[in-house]
Structure 1
Amino acid sequence: MRAFVFPGQGSQKIGMGVELAEASTAAREVFEEVDDALGQKLFQIMKDGPEDALTLTENAQPAIMANAMAVLRVLEKDANISLTEAGDCVAGHSLGEYTALCAAGAFSLADTARLLKLRGQAMQAAVPVGEGAMAALLGADIEKAQALADAAAEGQICTVANDNDPGQVVISGHREAIERAIELVKDHGIKRGILLPVSAPFHCPLMQPAADAMAEALAATSPAAFRLPLYANVTADEVTEPAEAQRLLVEQVTGRVRWRESVLAMRAAGVEEFVELGGKVLGPMIVRTDKEAKTTSVISMEDIEALAKEI
């Protein structure tokens, strides 16, 4: 069995998608459609920067999605590989869940771009700049991370945001609480805590205003039936019903990204190979979670050609 997986925020970089756009009409059409949907020249920012414009949450989220969907469209149109025939399920890390649903047919490309633009804006606006923070805990399992978050909270929000793999957990919340947590890492048997260069504290209760905004947006643009099951971030379980996917996308804004558990659930269901489209972020997490899992990263035309030969 094969899962197609899609990366989250942080995988953006200047020049993303350029090689694909130069080599394939299918890729160019994706970037043009996203630009049209958003009424902005997002691909120009992806191509030329400036970097701070691409890093903005409201630009990074649709850009990462567009890049992954361009890879998928080239696979489908140029290499004649159907996602539904080649894959058994989909999953995505945070914003990647929207890409996964788009890939599986739940949302159109234009609607996905607009939803992610709004999601980025809403997440940025939910907490004043400087009041929230996130930190990566290296050498921390979920139990150690939870104990640290509880100890550092002191009445503020400090919670596990991303359970990425057995040695990397991300916490999120009020800046003071996150800074206290970093100071306490050694006391909890954790190797290191690193403040992340993010503009808002994602996946924690401080994001409730953004969750409310997404509930409204998703009520107006609800997912259609999708062609492959989705393993959802919030539950780490298989989802096949559009209404459930819609509810979980709202919960995901404030909820934990249970990526490690999602990988284990897919493995338990029989998935042997994970193909990451548009990034090289999830593969290492998957291997650290299960060393027996096979991972493939597909970004370039060369990667696409190699995958086409294998499938």
Structure 2
Amino acid sequence: MRAFIFPGQGSQKVGMGTDLAAASTHARELFEEVDDALGQRLFQLMREGPADELMLTENAQPAIMALSMAVLRVLEKEGGVKLADVAGCVAGHSLGEYSALCSAEAIPLAETARLLKLRGQAMQRAVPVGEGAMAALLGADVAKAEDLAEAAEADGEICTVANDNDPGQVVISGHKAAIERAVAMVKDDKDRWGIKRGVPLPVSAPFHCPLMRPAAEEMEKALTETVIVAPSAPLYANVTAEAVSDPALIRSLLVDQVTGRVRWRESVLAMHADGADHFVEIGGKVVGPMVGRIVADAEVMSVQGMDDIEALIKSI
């Protein structure tokens, strides 16, 4: 069974989608559709930058989704391969969950773009710049990360596990001072915590922690007004690591996802246990390598350009 998986924030870079658009009118048309939905020249920003503007959450989120959907559009229109016919399930890392739902025809493209634009804006508004932070804990499992996060909390400040990415990488999120304490604690006593290193992440807000509650409330309102239908393939949800197809439950989980933990490692294990042995990352090369570290015997393919699309077609 094939699982189609979608990257989250951090996979954006200036030039993204340029080669694909040059090679395919179908890709260009999709980028234009996203631009029209947002009333913004997003694809120009993707092609040309500046990098600091593309890095803004409100731009990076729809840009990453647009590239994933452009790859699928080319796969379908030029390769004759429709995701609904070849995917046993879908999943996405954080914002990639929206890409996954769009790919499975649960949410239309234009609506997905608008939701992600709002999501990015709401996340940035939720916490003033400089008050929150995130850090990757390398060589950590969830239990070690939870112990460290609890020890780093003080004076009511939040430090919590945000992403359980793979067996050797967990991300923590919360107040900047608490995250800085956690990183310092690892540096000062690696043996005690059993964690190799804490690396501050270049993010503008502390995602997937209780500080994002205002953003969750904004997304709840927007999602209440969004028509969601059953996806063509089950979605393995970030916050439960379980398959879901019911639109009402999907809507609720998307709200929970804003403040909740991204249980990516568990999601991959669940997909694999349910029969997924081929994982296809669409539009990036981020979550695919994580899969390889989670399930050693899985076949993993990353699809970003025309050569990748042709290789995928041959493998199906």
Q: TM-score, normalised by structure 1?
A: 0.99
In 2: Cα distance, 1:262 partner to 1:78 partner: 31
SS of 1:172's equivalent? strand
SS of 1:78's equivalent? helix
Which residue does 2:290 correspond to in 1? Answer: 285
Which residue does 1:208 correspond to in 2? Answer: 213
Which residue does 1:134 correspond to in 2? Answer: 134
TM-superposition CA deviations, 1:276-304 (whole Å, max 9, x none): 00000011111111111110000010000
Which residue does 1:273 correspond to in 2? Answer: 278
TM-superposition CA deviations, 1:177-208 (whole Å, max 9, x none): 00000011223110000000000000000000
SS of 1:162's equivalent? strand
- Cα pair 1:222 1:246 within 8 Å, conserved: no
1:11 matches 2:11: yes
Which residue does 1:245 correspond to in 2? Answer: 250
Which residue does 2:308 correspond to in 1? Answer: 303
1:27 matches 2:32: no
Task: Please point out which of 197, 208, 214 is paired with 1:192.
Answer: 197
Letter of the 1:39 counterpart: G
Moved more, 219-228 or 135-144: 219-228
Letter of the 1:169 counterpart: V
SS of 1:176's equivalent? helix
In 2: Cα distance, 1:25 partner to 1:214 partner: 33
Which residue does 1:167 correspond to in 2? Answer: 168
Which residue does 1:178 correspond to in 2? Answer: 179
What pairs with 1:90-109 in structure 2 (closer than 5 Å)? 90-109=90-109
In 2: Cα distance, 1:131 partner to 1:87 partner: 41
TM-superposition CA deviations, 1:104-161 (whole Å, max 9, x none): 0111100000000000000000000000000000000010000000000123110000
In 2: Cα distance, 1:299 partner to 1:70 partner: 9
Instruction: Name structure 2 gaps, 5 residues minimum.
Output: none
SS of 1:68's equivalent? helix
SS of 2:231's equivalent? coil
In 2: Cα distance, 1:101 partner to 1:87 partner: 12
In 1: Cα distance, 2:227 partner to 2:236 partner: 18
Letter of the 1:164 counterpart: N
Which residue does 2:148 correspond to in 1? Answer: 148
In 1: Cα distance, 2:50 partner to 2:40 partner: 15
Which residue does 2:82 correspond to in 1? Answer: 82
**Count of residues paired in the alignment:** 311
In 2: Cα distance, 1:20 partner to 1:44 partner: 14
Structure 1 residue ranges (4+ consecutive) displaced by more than 3 angstroms after TM superposition = none
Letter of the 2:167 counterpart: P
Displacement, 1:222?
3.2
Which residue does 2:266 correspond to in 1? Answer: 261
In 2: Cα distance, 1:286 partner to 1:191 partner: 21
SS of 2:79's equivalent? coil
In 1: Cα distance, 2:198 partner to 2:220 partner: 33
In 2: Cα distance, 1:82 partner to 1:3 partner: 14
TM-superposition CA deviations, 1:237-259 (whole Å, max 9, x none): 00010100000000000000000
Displacement, 1:11?
0.1
In 2: Cα distance, 1:222 partner to 1:232 partner: 18
Letter of the 1:128 counterpart: P
Displacement, 1:86?
1.1
Identity %: 70
Moved more, 57-66 or 78-87: 78-87
SS of 1:224's equivalent? coil
- Cα pair 1:133 1:199 within 8 Å, conserved: yes
Which residue does 1:72 correspond to in 2? Answer: 72
Letter of the 2:37 counterpart: A
Q: CA RMSD in A?
A: 0.6
SS of 2:10's equivalent? coil
In 2: Cα distance, 1:3 partner to 1:189 partner: 33
SS of 1:233's equivalent? coil
Displacement, 1:41?
0.2
Letter of the 2:224 counterpart: A
